Amino acid sequence: MPSPDEPGCVAAPGCSVQDVVDRVAGKWSVCILVAAADGPIRFTELERAIAGISRRMLTLTLRNLERDGLLVRTVYPTVPPRVEYAVTPMALELHAALVTLTTWAERHRGDVAAARQRYDARPD
């Protein structure tokens, strides 16, 4: 990663590289961005698609992703209002990396579980 002194590295006040990585690599952010990548998705669809997420955490994460320019929230004037979330071009650019990460995690979760068991079984 280039340092702030290197050419081509633009300082972004109030938004460090670590801030961006923390946001997009967060447990719920990854799930939401992967779920929303195929097209607009409604809140309840996201809630059903992401096991273990609470309504509050889903709401907070959606707001943060919208604030960071990774999601667009569209409210339709119906009764009750219909709300959809769609990824932005910036999020689509990130999508391939997220799918690679989640595919790797799925492929190696058994290996990680076995390594944890071996570690936990070691005498201290």
**Tens of pLDDT, residues 57-94:** 999 999 999 999 999 999 999 999 899 999 999 999 99
Q: Flag whether pLDDT at 100 surpasses 80.
A: yes
* Three-class HEC string of 19-78: HHHHHHCCHHHHHHHHHHCCCCEEHHHHHHHCCCCCHHHHHHHHHHHHHCCCEEEEEECC
Average pLDDT, the chain: 88
Cα angle value 108/22/75 (rounded, 5°)? 100
Domain ranges (residues) in the chain = 17-121
> Of 21-35, 39-53, 107-121, which gets the smallest average pLDDT?
21-35
Fold of the CATH domain 17-121? Arc Repressor Mutant, subunit A (1.10.10)
* pLDDT at residue 27, rounded to an integer: 87
